[in-house]
Amino acid sequence: MIEIHGVQKHFGRLHVLNNINLSCSRGDCIALIGPNGCGKTTLIKSVLNMVIPDEGIILFNNKDIKGDHHYRSEIGYMPQIGRYPENMTVGQVLETIRQLRGTATAVDEDLYYQYRIQNILEKRMGTLSGGTRQKVSAIIAFMYHPAVLILDEPTAGLDPLASEILKEKIITEKRKNKLILITSHLLSELDEIVSEVIFMQEGLVKFHEKVETLKVNTGEGTIAKAISKILREQAG
């Protein structure tokens, strides 16, 4: 579904992405992890055409995304920090998105009601807490039944109940044979969700493995312990 071939990106002298080659298929739920500054967000933004690679090609359903924007209607994106017009109300933001996507499109209102957003539609975005902004971002990401979900630190700022609701929603969408990419520093949250792990470091993909393969090869029972063991062995 998403194919990445030889992608490179520089910001000045900083080499952020170094010859990235990845294949992500429908039905995969993939954790994209690595230390801060390793290139995760740049890679995500390259897939979304928000960053243009210096070299390489990205395919979505076997079509080059360069110069295209229509494919993004099939992607639900939840940024780490959602940025919205401060003076717009929650209701206005959701209505604007609805108009942009087409009012005839069926809407997934599951998170909308679980997060009780109907109770805060008149509140301005600038008055919301970080956690409530995250809820709005989550609702928008899932709202139009996308074939692909890209979730950048989705539980950051959410309280435990809201985080659990979101994890359950991700699992539900995973069962619908969607492609889901998740970045997170909370590896303990990923064990019951993801089926594959991509680990990046210094702009490189160090490995892309199935979770079960990682656990078997390392003899560890969790993603966090498996990755920790691999990194210790690589260090020496």
User: What pLDDT does residue 169 have?
Assistant: 97
User: What pLDDT does residue 236 have?
Assistant: 62
pTM equals 0.93
Which tokens sit at 233?
A: 């062995």
DSSP state of 124: B
Architecture of domain 2-235: 3-Layer(aba) Sandwich (3.40)
* Selection from 31, 17, 62 nearest residue 205 by Cα: 17
User: What pLDDT does residue 204 have?
Assistant: 96
Query: What pLDDT, in 10s, does the model give residues 116-167?
Result: 999 999 999 999 999 999 999 999 999 999 999 999 999 988 999 999 999 9
Count the Cβ atoms, other than its own, within 10 Å of residue 169: 19
DSSP state of 23: E
User: What pLDDT does residue 214 have?
Assistant: 93
- One digit per residue, pLDDT tens: the chain, 236 residues? 999 999 999 999 899 999 999 999 999 999 999 988 899 999 999 999 999 999 999 999 999 999 888 899 999 999 988 899 999 999 999 999 988 887 666 899 999 999 999 999 999 999 999 999 999 999 999 999 999 999 999 998 899 999 999 999 999 999 999 999 999 887 888 888 999 999 999 999 999 999 999 999 999 999 989 988 988 887 76
User: What pLDDT does residue 101 have?
Assistant: 82
Integer angstrom CA distances of residue 155 from 24, 25, 166, 216 = 22, 24, 8, 28
* Selection from 205, 204, 201, 207 nearest residue 226 by Cα: 207
User: What pLDDT does residue 3 have?
Assistant: 97
**Three-point CA angle 61, 65, 68, nearest 5°:** 115
Cα dihedral 74/76/81/86 (nearest 10): 80
User: What pLDDT does residue 103 have?
Assistant: 61
Integer angstrom CA distances of residue 68 from 10, 41, 71, 148 = 22, 20, 7, 17
Is the separation of the CB atoms in 137 and 82 below 8 Å?
yes
Crossing angle of helices 130-142 and 160-174, in 10° steps, is 10
How far is the C-alpha of 181 from the C-alpha of 14, rounded, in Å? 25
Count the Cβ atoms, other than its own, within 10 Å of residue 162: 19
